[in-house]
Structure 1
Amino acid sequence: MIKNIGKKVLFFTISSLLCCMLISCGGLSEDTTDTTITSGNLDSITAQYNYLKSSVVPLIIAGIDTTIGQASGFTASYDVNQYNITYTTTDANGNSTLASAAVFVPSTNTNVNTLLYLHGSTSIDNDRPTYASISYNTTNPALTTHTVEGENAFAIALASEGKIVIMPDYLGFGASSELHPYIHAGTLASASIDAVLATQALENSSVTEFTMSDKLIITGYSEGGYATMATHKELVNNSSSYPTIVNKIVGVIPGSPPCDLSVSMANTMLNSTNYPTPAFLPFLLYAYNNAYSITTNVTSFVKPEYASAFTDLDTKTKSLGDISADLPSTPNLMIADNFKAEITAALADYSTDRVLDTATASGFYEKLNDNDVYNYNPGPLLPYYILHLNADNTVPIENSEVAVHHMTTIGTATSAAIGGNIALIDPSVGMATAYTAGTLTDHSAGFVFYILTTKGIANTIFQ
């Protein structure tokens, strides 16, 4: 969940990049597919682009505030190869389906540490990681063109420092034509885990030259933070199913995760305050109805004058910000009266003791509950950093507070304040053993501090 800035949700405008581009070396050809590879669940490999290290830092500094960019200490040490892959995964109904991911590999290609980096909310197909590309004009560099957006730019920068970065498109984007199953734990986890398995097959292919180390960090912001927790929850709860992944995880870093859907996020959608991106609500309603067949007519969830939001989502060309412009800034005003009454009653029932005593007529609230991802035990040893603005205006801090409470009281994690393994940090303030609350409210601005803090944490863990 992220506020829209320019074209892309929760990312930063990079319209100034044309003057300070990533540069293609020409070492890899565009759309060169190896169709002979059958190992694992890898379907195809497309070796697309090579980015010169000399252009990585200017790209990052052009995309974010210059002072923050310089202070972050990004030092591009390696060129970066981008591989687009397709692979098999599982949809919300348990059926096998095709998905896609971008894999960014540094030119130092032996025993490389890996980040599984899960992107934030978008409704536009061309915002997907695999859409990133560059066409370099050697005669006139000013005519170089590219489609590198914010999170892809950061992924390339992280790779240029010597890390493999795996970025799934998620179902609904790229190779997958369905509606994106937004904030759906099962499909976000499976698409992410299977992207790692496919990258392990890519590592062993005949068209690539790199080896992965035994160290993997999972991270992401907003929907990506939610996906981080959903993925780790699945890996922990079913560890025997993922022997080539689970023992390599050395850190988990969710950023501003809407992990408590059934209480914290339900309260946010039902209260009477303005919300930066109200389109998140119809996106979730549409996605859950596709996944669970709750009603034969998804528009019945909202008042008739707001039904066009579902049509807009079908196009995959209209941003969440643009869709939000046609909706009331207070999300509860768009919800159909009978459905609002049902969810309000369920929330009042459930929030007292986290037990739903009375089933709902539609079953929708139960599906929210099923997709909470805070409620698992990450264990007492794994470094686990939740980065969340204290005053976040889009994903309230209560989500992460609930997660820490559960993991340290019901689970076996212990707080970093007493020398343990789990920490809740406001990245706008900086690293601290005890939580220090900042005043920054803007969810999108929080992404900048998340990525810079994550870079530092990852470098420390990977040492």
Structure 2
Amino acid sequence: MTLSAVTLFNSRHRSMRPVATGLLWLSLFFSVAAGCKSEAQPAPAATPATPVATHLISSTLIGEYSPAVLAQRVSSVPLAGALARFPIRVYKLTYSTQTPAGQTITASGALLVPVASQPLSLLSYQHGTIQPDEERRAPSYYSSSSEVWSAVSLLASTGYVVSAPDYIGYGASKAQAHPYEHGPSLASASLDMMRAAREFCKREKLPLNQKNFLLGYSEGGYATMSLHKLMEEKYAREFTVTASAPGAGAYHKTAFANYILSSDKPLNFLSSYVWVLDTYNKVYGINRPFPYYFNQPWAGQLQLNPFSSVPSKPAELFTATFRQGILSNTDQPMSTAFRDNDVYDWKPTAPLALFHGTADDYVPYFNSEDAYKAMRSRGATQVELHPIEGGNHFTSAARYTLEAFAFISRY
């Protein structure tokens, strides 16, 4: 699901063994991003991709940042700046991808490239929820409110090439509606960004090794799981997943829908669940009117503004007809959409660690627990479950940051 605004986790990387001790500092980075000043040089004009590129369209240098600048961004965290090793160059890439309907469009993302001579690993970082009115938080803007600004940039400075897709609906594709929590398009947009990143590195003669890491929390965790599944099941000859560490994702959509619609207790995040429902209603061509799903007056309000406030009790917001159809499994169109977005029950071969707060009331813990049990029952031997005891969706982000990087640093 989501993890809005500045609390969303922010960070990634593995490499050097000394990073393990420095990871503790990374968990504090969330308070650092706001208010930092860029020392970027003026960006040159976009350069077109070479004719051999199949996904990359253009690259624009946003700026080059020294280890000292990156350290300054986290100056409130004792000793964290000592992790900065290489200068990094940050680029905005545009690349071709497809919408859920199969239309080829231009999307964008940020590419963070350490200035180093040795071959580096590629790390795909999937960001969390960005509301439509927060569009400038998308990675390619590289603003102080973007998740890639501080911790992710610092981690790139330790030696990862970081590919950070905006997703469809942000950056170059902002004219499109973001297909919120739609697993197939989150995965394909992220994979196409990785392809564009490799094409860029090849064109610029920046050596990559064969290691590919995947990270993300909340909607980014769900996108990471969807990407991992896509890469192993359909593109294993093109990419090998070295390790992935998704955090707090809504992997078991069918169970999540039943959890919401059967609840008689207030839920704090119904507006996000409304966004998911609206996405599936459109993407899967169900196209029912809002009054089918929502009681009045909220049906009318949501039709005018899908992000308007809603009541906290599901029975008050959702119609009895809709709730009964899902809970009895007789609403075939929407039940099929939920199943199509389940990514909990498959067999990964690469090491995969699931991180989740046990008291998460936004994306319940059972999403990760169900994934772990299903994967292990299919014979997946390199799947780990890391419960964050007592953590909710937001307080668990720091622990996720620390432990996810400790996990991938093994590989």
TM-score > 0.5, shorter chain as reference:
yes
- Highest relative contact order (Cα 8 Å, sep 6+), 1 or 2? 2
Output the CA distance in 1 between the equivalents of 2:407 and 2:324.
44
Output the CA distance in 2 between the equivalents of 1:127 and 1:172.
12
Instruction: Specify which of 35, 43, 47 is matched with residue 34 of structure 1.
Output: 47
2:28 is the alignment partner of 1:45? no
Aligned-pair CA distance for 1:366: 1.5
2:329 is the alignment partner of 1:378? no
Which SS does the other structure have where 1:448 is aligned?
A: helix
Aligned-pair CA distance for 1:51: 2.0
2:402 is the alignment partner of 1:452? yes
2:238 is the alignment partner of 1:238? no
Instruction: Specify which of 11, 15, 23 is matched with residue 39 of structure 2.
Output: 23
Structure 2 letter corresponding to 1:340: R
2:333 is the alignment partner of 1:366? no
Output the CA distance in 1 between the equivalents of 2:184 and 2:227.
8
Output the CA distance in 1 between the equivalents of 2:33 and 2:219.
26
2:268 is the alignment partner of 1:273? no
In structure 2, do the counterparts of structure 1 residues 370 and 422 end up closer, same or farther at CA, with 3 Å as the change threshold? Answer: same
Which SS does the other structure have where 2:191 is aligned?
A: helix
Output the CA distance in 2 between the equivalents of 1:455 and 1:377.
23
Q: Please, what TM-score do these two structures have when normalized by structure 1? A: 0.77
Conserved? CA contact 1:14–1:149, under 8 Å: no
Which SS does the other structure have where 1:376 is aligned?
A: coil
Aligned-pair CA distance for 1:408: 0.9
In structure 2, do the counterparts of structure 1 residues 157 and 33 end up closer, same or farther at CA, with 3 Å as the change threshold? Answer: same
Identity score, percent: 26
5 Å-filtered alignment, 1:180-219, equals 180-205=178-203, 208-219=204-215
Gaps in structure 2 of 5+ consecutive residues: 11-28
Aligned-pair CA distance for 1:270: 3.7
Structure 2 letter corresponding to 1:339: F
Conserved? CA contact 1:181–1:187, under 8 Å: yes
Deviations 1:15-63 (A, max 9, x none): 8743x54433x3xx4152112523121111111122222132342465x
Output the CA distance in 2 between the equivalents of 1:333 and 1:160.
49
Match of residue 82 from structure 1: 90
Structure 1 letter corresponding to 2:248: S
Which SS does the other structure have where 1:393 is aligned?
A: coil
Aligned-pair CA distance for 1:101: 1.1
2:74 is the alignment partner of 1:91? no
Aligned-pair CA distance for 1:377: 0.8
In structure 2, do the counterparts of structure 1 residues 175 and 270 end up closer, same or farther at CA, with 3 Å as the change threshold? Answer: farther
Aligned-pair CA distance for 1:296: 4.5
In structure 2, do the counterparts of structure 1 residues 400 and 15 end up closer, same or farther at CA, with 3 Å as the change threshold? Answer: closer
Structure 2 letter corresponding to 1:439: G
Match of residue 13 from structure 2: none
Output the CA distance in 2 between the equivalents of 1:15 and 1:214.
32
Which SS does the other structure have where 2:360 is aligned?
A: coil
Gaps in structure 1 of 5+ consecutive residues: 134-146, 314-322, 347-358, 415-420, 429-437
Match of residue 329 from structure 1: 312
Tell me the matched-pair count.
Answer: 388
Match of residue 252 from structure 1: 244
Match of residue 129 from structure 2: 121
Structure 1 letter corresponding to 2:331: T
Match of residue 395 from structure 1: 363
Match of residue 21 from structure 2: none
Output the CA distance in 2 between the equivalents of 1:444 and 1:203.
35
Output the CA distance in 1 between the equivalents of 2:302 and 2:9.
19
2:111 is the alignment partner of 1:103? yes
Aligned-pair CA distance for 1:76: 0.9
Match of residue 376 from structure 2: 408
Conserved? CA contact 1:377–1:412, under 8 Å: yes
How well do the aligned residues superpose, as a CA RMSD in angstroms?
2.5
Match of residue 423 from structure 1: 384
Output the CA distance in 2 between the equivalents of 1:127 and 1:310.
26
Instruction: Specify which of 130, 138, 148 is matched with residue 140 of structure 2.
Output: 130
Q: Please, what TM-score do these two structures have when normalized by structure 2? A: 0.87
2:401 is the alignment partner of 1:440? no
Match of residue 218 from structure 2: 222
Output the CA distance in 1 between the equivalents of 2:33 and 2:60.
28
Match of residue 301 from structure 1: 293
Aligned-pair CA distance for 1:106: 1.0
In structure 2, do the counterparts of structure 1 residues 332 and 159 end up closer, same or farther at CA, with 3 Å as the change threshold? Answer: farther
2:156 is the alignment partner of 1:159? yes
